[in-house]
Amino acid sequence: MFIGEDPVHIKTESRSDIAPLVLMPGDPLRAKYIATNFLENAKLVTSVRNMLGYTGYYKNVLVTVMSSGMGMPSMSIYAFELFHFYNVQKIIRIGTCGAVSPKAKINEILLGDKIYSESNFAYTYNDFKEHVVSTSNSLNEQIVNVAKELGFENRLHKGMLTTMDVFGPYIDYERVLNRIPKEYEILGEEMEAFALTHIANTMNRQSTTLATVVDSKFSNVVLSIEEREQSLNEMIKLALEAIIR
């Protein structure tokens, strides 16, 4: 194995430019949005390949918001470098997902306590053959408690997500869902959570995933830009409040 002494995809002036607590949206511009609207004294600390990372203060606690890109390969690169080179302790992925259960409605937030994937990602990564990984219990408990404090616990659903190698709406993903063991109740599908969770577990760090439902196989509703932004703002605040506990 060749790792080297310095990260290849994150470049900062100092290792201290990355905080031990990290939120990871997929979109670099969403990272910029969070830094601008939620953090104080935020500064851009890395921009290699336009994958933006910002560090600033949320309620006097230093937090980094680092984009992951789309898909497990991209997520795995940034999660690994954050954990290995920057000694990050906690990562909450904040993203969007498609609902595949009638329990999850458009604009609601899913908390993935377990992640299923039929991908060979973990087997390639370190010969891990299981298809289900568990996220951090303590982070999940903090998120549930904060949701109650903020008054939208009824819009938060904790359960299993599935991570796919393809963008669900562009395929007949019923084929994939039908292959999942029947004892697993999948709430939503997305593309990054399994990789983040497996790497965090392998490196003995904490991680979990929050995902706002923006489309559903049970609904024809299409959110407006304003509705999507409001929903994402609630998820961002929930993640920030939970990660600093």
End-to-end CA distance of the chain: 36
Residue with token string 């430019």: 17
Cα-Cα-Cα-Cα dihedral of 52, 145, 198, 92, to 10°?
0
Q: Tokens at residue 133, please?
A: 């990984």
> SS3 for 52?
coil
Cα–Cα distance measured from residue 229 to residue 206, given in angstroms and rounded to the nearest whole number: 27
Select from 11, 65, 16, 87 the least CA-distant residue to 237: 65
Neighbour tally for 45: CB within 10 Å: 23
Cα–Cα distance measured from residue 177 to residue 186, given in angstroms and rounded to the nearest whole number: 8
Active site residue 113: no
Q: Which residues pair with 59 in a beta bridge?
A: none
CB 170, CB 97: distance < 8 Å: no
Select from 224, 214, 221 the least CA-distant residue to 99: 214
Cα–Cα distance measured from residue 142 to residue 224, given in angstroms and rounded to the nearest whole number: 30
- The active-site residue out of 6, 127, 165, 215 is 215
Residue positions annotated with a catalytic role: 215
